[in-house]
Amino acid sequence: MSTEIKSHLTELLAHALAKVSPQHPASLVTLERPKQAQHGDFSCPVAMQLGKLLKRNPREIATDLIAALPTSDWLERAEIAGAGFINLRVKPMAKQHIVRTILAAREQFGQSVRGQDQSVVVEFVSANPTGPLHVGHGRQAALGDAISALLESQSFRVTREFYYNDAGAQIENLALSVQARAKGLEPDSAQWPANGYRGEYIRDIATDYLAGKTVGGGLVVAVTASGNPEDIDSIRRFAVAYLRREQDADLQAFSVKFDNYYLESSLYSEGRVEQAVGAMVNAGKTYEKDGALWLKTTDYGDDKDRVMRKSDGSYTYFVPDVAYHVTKWERGFRRAVNVQGSDHHSTITRVRAGLQAVGRNVPVGYPDYVLHKMVTVMKGGEEVRISKRAGSYVTLRDLIEDAGRDATRFFLVSRKADSEFTFDVDLAKSQSEDNPVYYVQYAHARICSVLEQWRAQSPGEEQLAGDFSQIDLSSLLSARELLLLQKLGEFPEILDVASRELAPHQVAFYLRELAGEFHSYYNAERVLVAETPVKLARLVLIIATRQVLANGLRLMGVSAPEKM
C-alpha cells in the first residue's frame, strides 16, 4: 500500500488519539498489514496498548477512537476486530491515486531524502589480482552495485570502491608462476612453484611478457614488460597490471563501475600500516609474546587475543585491513559497507577491534558487513566446476557469455546474501515464467507492446490523453486492478526497507510479484476496450506499472527491454 495512504491513515488515528487520550504520544499509532484481505487494508493495535496503560477494555477504547476519526476522502470504514484491533479499509480512489504519484515522479518514484547526502563508501569485489574473477566475485559485484544503487535512491552519496590486495604471498606466487611459464615449465613439472597458479591465463601472461608488450591504460597504470624471464620484479608488476586490466574488462562487461580503486601496496609505501600499529601500541592495546606482537582483541568481545605481527616480522592479514579502514574514516566516510564472502567472517571482530584500539573515535560496529555464501553453477543438470581459462573454477566471464549479463545480475541478487545459491544456467536462458528475470522483463515488454498497438489503432487518442495526469481513474475497480494498484504503492516502502537492511533481494522478490500481478491482470482484463474512458484509465495503469518495473530493474543493474 502507498506510503501516502499509510501516512494519511496514521495522521487520522493520531488525531483521534489526541482526543481520546491526549496524554499519550502519537508514536503509539502503528499500522500493520493484515495477513488476510478480509480484515482490511491496515490494522492498528493502539487500542490494545492503551488498554494496558489506561486499564480499560481495548474494544471500548477502539470504539472511542473510531468515533473520533476525522472525515476522510480516502478512508472507507474502520471496524473493531478481535480483542480490540482497529481494521481500516481504504476507498478505491485512494489506491488509484498512486498512479498519479508515479506519473508525476517518473524515474524518481520510490526515492526518498532519508540519507540527506550522507557519504557512504561501499567496498565490494576487492579481488586479488592473481586470476580472472570467479562467480563468487560476480555475486559480490551484483550485490555491491545493487546495494549502492539502493542507498543512492535514498539520497546517500555513495562511493563504490575496489580494494586491490596487490601485496603479500599470493602476489609472489603469481610472479613465480608466470616466471615458471616464461621459462617453459608446465604445471605438472617438478620445478613448478609449490603454491603456483595453474590456469591457462598464466601462459597468456607469460607469452605477452616475453613479447615485451605493454599492459594497462585507463584505470591501470601502464607497465611494459622487460621480456627477461629472470627479472622477477618486472614479472610481478606486469602480471598484476595484466590481471587488473582483465578484471576491469570483466566488470565492464557486467556494467559495474567503480569510483575509486585502492591499492593495498599503498598502505605499506605510505607507512599507513606502521602508523596504525603504532597507534595501537601507544594506546596500550598490544603486548609481546613468543616473539610476536598481539592485539588485545578480547577487550572488544573476541574469544581470544590475535597476533598482529608474527615472529618473522610480517603482519597478519587483518592488520592492513585495519589501516585501510582508518583511511575510510579519515576520508570522511562515517558509514562504510563491505560486501565480502562468508569466509571473511572471522575478520569482522578483528578489524572492528583494531579500529577501536587505534582510537580515532570510530564507532563500535564500523564498518557494516554483508557476507555472501558460495555460488554453485549448474548446467544440463550437472555442476560446472572448472573453466578452461582459469583451470580450477568458473569465471564470471564464462557465466556472462553463457547466461547473459541481465540474467546473471538478476539471479545473483535474487536470494538473500547469506544463503547458498545455485545458478541454473539453463533456467537463466529459458523463456518461461519460471525464469524470474525473463518474467519481469517480459512484463515490461508486454506493456510496451500494448502501447504500440494502441498508438497504431487509435493514433489521435495519445494527443487526447495529453500527459495522462488528468485521466479519470474511477473505473479501475476490478479485483485485479485494485491488487495491481496496491502492489505499485508498496514500491517506496520496499526500497526503504531494502536499503536499511542492505538486502537487494527484496527488490528482486518485489519485481517478481509485481510482474505476476500485471500478467494476471493482463490475462483477466482487456486493456484496449471500446469504451475510451475505461481504455485510457487502463492504459495509465499499465504505464505506471511499466515505470515501476523499469525503476526496479535499473536498481538491479538490469535492462528493461521494449521488445522480447
Q: First CA to last CA across the chain, in angstroms? A: 30
Of 9, 20, 18, 26, the closest CA to residue 51 belongs to 20
Q: For the domain with range 119-165+261-372, which CATH number is right: 3.10.180.10, 3.40.640.10, 3.40.50.300, 3.40.50.620?
A: 3.40.50.620
Grid cell of 116 as nine digits: 540527506
Q: What is the mean pLDDT of residues 114-138?
A: 96
Query: Do residues 20 and 86 lie in contact, with contact meaning Cβ atoms separated by under 8 Å?
Result: no
How far, in Å, CA of 31 to CA of 40, rounded?
Answer: 12
Q: pTM of the full predicted structure?
A: 0.92
Burial of 482 (0-12, 13-18, 19+ CB in 10 A): middle
| The pLDDT of residue 283 is above 80 | yes
Please give the Cα distance from 413 to 145 (Å, whole number).
10
Dump strand ranges (E) for 35-140. Answer: 42-44, 75-81, 85-90, 119-123
Note the pLDDT tens digit of each residue in 92-103.
999 999 999 999
* Matching residue, cell 599507513: 272
Residue 542 to residues 7, 204, 206, 272, 472, Cα–Cα distance (Å):
25, 52, 56, 56, 14
**How far apart are the C-alpha atoms of 332 and 119, rounded to whole Å?**
7
Cell 562487461, residue located: 253
Q: What DSSP state is assigned to residue 503?
A: -
If you search the block for the grid coordinates 499509510, which residue do you land on? 6
Query: In whole numbers, what is the pLDDT of the chain averaged over residues?
Result: 94
Per-residue confidence at 242, pLDDT binned at 50, 70, 90? very high
pLDDT band for position 216 (50/70/90)?
Answer: confident
d(CA 175, CA 341): 25
User: DSSP characters for 4-20?
Assistant: HHHHHHHHHHHHHHHHH
| Assigned C-alpha cell, 469 | 495526469
390-399: pLDDT as tens digits: 778 999 999 9
Given pLDDT bands bounded at 50, 70 and 90, which one contains residue 461? confident
> What per-residue confidence (pLDDT) applies to 130?
94
Q: Are 395 and 135 in contact (CB under 8 A)?
A: yes
Query: Is the domain 3-90 a CATH 3.30.1360.70 member?
Result: yes
**Long-range contacts, 261-265 (Cβ 8 Å, 24+):** 261/161, 261/162, 261/164, 261/219, 262/161, 262/162, 262/163, 262/164, 262/324, 262/327, 263/164, 263/166, 264/163, 264/164, 264/165, 264/166, 264/167, 264/168, 264/320, 264/324, 265/166, 265/167
User: Mean per-residue pLDDT for 260-274?
Assistant: 95
Instruction: Look up cell 508486454; give the residue.
Output: 446
pLDDT at 386: 78
C-alpha cell at 351: 578489524
With a cut of 80, say whether residue 388 has pLDDT above it: no
How many of the other CB atoms lie within 10 Å of CB of 52? 9
Q: What is the pLDDT of residue 218?
A: 60
pLDDT tier at 466, thresholds 50, 70, 90: low
pLDDT of residue 465: 60
Query: Per DSSP, what are the bridge partners of residue 371?
Result: 340
Question: What is the rounded CA–CA span in Å between residue 278 and residue 419?
Answer: 39
In the chain, list all ranges with CATH 3.30.1360.70.
Answer: 3-90
* Domain ranges in the chain with CATH number 1.10.730.10: 433-555
CATH architecture of 433-555: Orthogonal Bundle (1.10)
pLDDT in tens, 284-331: 999 999 999 999 999 999 999 999 999 999 999 999 999 999 999 999
* Per-residue pLDDT tens digits for 154-209: 999 999 999 998 888 899 999 999 999 999 999 999 999 999 999 999 999 999 99
pLDDT of residue 389: 72
Span(s) in the chain for CATH 3.40.50.620 = 119-165+261-372
pLDDT in tens, 407-460: 999 999 999 999 999 999 999 999 999 999 999 999 999 999 999 999 999 887
Q: How confident is the model at residue 387 (pLDDT cuts 50, 70, 90)?
A: confident
Cβ neighbors of 41 (< 8 A, separation 6 or more) are 1, 5, 33, 34, 88, 89, 90, 486
Rounded Cα distance, 205 and 177, in Å = 10
- State how beta strands 382-384 and 375-379 pair: antiparallel
